[in-house]
Amino acid sequence: MDLTHRFTSPEDTTRFAAALAPTLGPGDVLLLSGGIGAGKTHFARSLIQTRLAAADLVEDVPSPTFTLVQTYDDGVGEVWHADLYRLTHPDEVEELGLIDAFSDAICLVEWPDRLGDLTPENAVSLALSTTDTLGERILIATGPAAWITRLEAALNG
């Protein structure tokens, strides 16, 4: 199933991430795709900061472009934020420990095309793109019907 939504500002994206954050649990995998500057890291940072704030935790949430993976303990479990842009082969994903995290943690994966055949079947794809209007983003979500229902609920607040 697919879902398309237009965010009119970065704040709209933040609100969506904040609404979705408390609905996630171990084994939930969000595949974040889109070009550089499309809002993938902004979405992930907003979601992670919302989960941390719910546990009265404050932590910097940098882009994992150079570290490849950042993990956060939100008091309930782990949240993994991965940026696979610099990987050249799916075998490198296994070295990061990401495969185990797919079942044990909430995983936000930027540049998921690098996963190849390792992409989890239960994942939802969130493709973000920019428009000609400053700050505006288009979200196209693809995944199982249950995921689309969850996303629609988060969008409708």
pTM recorded for the entire structure: 0.95
Where in the chain does DSSP place strands (E)? 2-7, 29-33, 69-73, 78-83, 106-110, 124-130, 137-142
124, 154 Cβ separation under 8 angstroms: no
Tokens of 121: 């079947």
pLDDT in tens, 89-144: 888 998 999 999 999 999 999 999 999 999 999 999 999 999 999 989 999 999 99
Q: Which of these, 124, 77, 123, lies nearest to 99 by C-alpha position?
A: 123
Inter-helix orientation angle 10-20/40-54, to 10°: 50
Q: Given 2.170.120.30, 3.40.50.620, 3.40.50.300, 3.40.30.10, which CATH number is that of 9-102+111-131+148-155?
A: 3.40.50.300
CA within 13 Å, CB half, 153: 11
* Residues 5 and 137: beta-carbon distance below 8 Å: no
- Reported as type and span, the H/E element at residue 20 is helix 10-20
In tens, the pLDDT along 31-90 reads 999 999 999 999 999 999 999 999 999 998 999 999 999 999 999 999 999 999 999 988
CA distance 1 to 85: 26
